[in-house]
Structure formats: structure tokens, C-alpha cells
Amino acid sequence: GENVEQHPSTLSVQEGDSAVIKCTYSDSASNYFPWYKQELGKGPQLIIDIRSNVGEKKDQRIAVTLNKTAKHFSLHITETQPEDSAVYFCAASNTGRRALTFGSGTRLQVQP
Amino acid sequence: NAGVTQTPKFQVLKTGQSMTLQCAQDMNHNSMYWYRQDPGMGLRLIYYSASEGTTDKGEVPNGYNVSRLNKREFSLRLESAAPSQTSVYFCASSAVGETQYFGPGTRLLVL
């Protein structure tokens, strides 16, 4: 089955700096890669996703890049703000498998 | 439009007790899922239902049963709770092949 590895497990940045979280996946058939943000005591919320026919996608301060050859995808947050502090999860799936396989999460702390 | 709702929010059980976690969605999604979240392990799939009337095992199904009651509702049952089932349980739903939307979770403690 699919295996998703996520790094780093914790990340601390100063407000205004950029943050990068990286994930690798094992199943070459995976074609959908969402990123979720989870705040304390809440369920995960989708922040951005990318499909395998696209190499990069941006939404304001957030961007995701995908390297299918290397089976890597990354989340980039620019101009970080204290409200970006949360746990971020990457995930992967394919049409046939339907369900998501999650990485282990990255706790991002943005210092004011 | 409430999205995905889960009940209860919190539950404490004694070993051997049974309980059912309820999940409902109002987005007319075909697919529904149950995940558990443990510290440092992300979310792991317990069971999913691709459409009304079908259910399939996920990564960690042992000790659980599910029922897809209708298109809106998908319940998770623990027949004989064990301390290893202490976790946070999330329900999610999606249109086929599309984004999964998660509920707020049920926090379960088994003593």
C-alpha cells in the first residue's frame, strides 16, 4: 500500500519568514495530494491540493509543488503569521484507492 | 449547511463496554470515511464507504464495525472497547474522487 513520509515533525519560524514542509510517497499510482491544517481541538481542514497533471499550484501565501519523478511534494507558506501556527498534514491517494494516506504531521509554530 | 457532524464530542468508557459513534453529512456526498488519530501517527483509515450500501476495511479495522445507514449517515461501533482504542476519531465525506471534508472529531478514552 501507500506510505507517506513527512518532514520535519516540528518547525519554528519567525513571523514574516517562509516555512517549507516536505512529503514523499511510495505508490507511483497516487495522483491526488491534499494538504490539511489542523488547529487544536478541531478536525483537519483542507488548505490546498494538487493533482498529478500539475507541477505547482498557488493560493495567496500558500503554494504546493509536486515532483512526480522523485515522488516528492512540498507545502510552502510565505510571509508567515501567528495564525498559521497549527499542525499540517500531507496526504496522497489515487482514484482507485479513494481513501487518503496521511503523513505523520508537522507542528508549525510562528513566533511573533 | 452544517457539513460533517459527529456525536458525541467526548466519551469515557470502561474496558469491555460498547458504544457507537455517529456521523452525518449534508453535502450529498457518496463517500464517507472513519479515521483515528493518535499522537505522532497522523490519521489512519479504519473503514470507508464508497457509496450507500457498501463498506470496506481500511488500514486498522480490527475491533470496529461500521454501518452506512443511508447516504447521510455512517456510524462506527466498538463492540468491546479496549484501552488501545483510546484515540480521537474523525469522520469525513467526499464526492467520488474529490476533496474529503472532516468533522470536528470524537475524543474517546477507554479506561
Whether A9 and B40 lie within 8 Å, measured CB to CB = yes
**B23-80 tens-digit pLDDT:** 999 999 999 999 999 987 789 999 999 888 899 999 999 999 999 989 999 999 999 9
Tell me what pLDDT residue A97 has. 61
Tell me what pLDDT residue A24 has. 97
Cβ within 8 Å of A, B 30-89: 31, 33, 35, 40-45, 48, 50, 58-59
Whether B100 and A104 lie within 8 Å, measured CB to CB = no
Whether B45 and A100 lie within 8 Å, measured CB to CB = yes
SS3 B58: coil
Whether B44 and A102 lie within 8 Å, measured CB to CB = yes
Contact B109, B11 (CB under 8 A): yes
Question: Which residues 6+ apart lie within 8 Å of B62 measured at CB?
Answer: none
**B74-106 tens-digit pLDDT:** 999 999 999 999 999 999 999 877 789 999 999
B105 CB near a chain A CB, below 8 Å? yes
Interface test with A, best of B100, B101, B107 (most A CBs within 10 A): B100
Cell of A87: 499542525
| A to B CB pairs, distance under 8 Å | 50
Whether A44 and B102 lie within 8 Å, measured CB to CB = yes
Whether A43 and B41 lie within 8 Å, measured CB to CB = no
Residues of A with Cβ-Cβ distance to B103 under 8 angstroms: 43
Tell me what pLDDT residue B46 has. 96
**A44-100 tens-digit pLDDT:** 999 999 988 878 999 999 999 999 999 999 999 999 999 999 999 999 988 666 678
Tell me what pLDDT residue B78 has. 96
Interface test with A, best of B31, B38, B43 (most A CBs within 10 A): B43
Cell of B105: 472529531
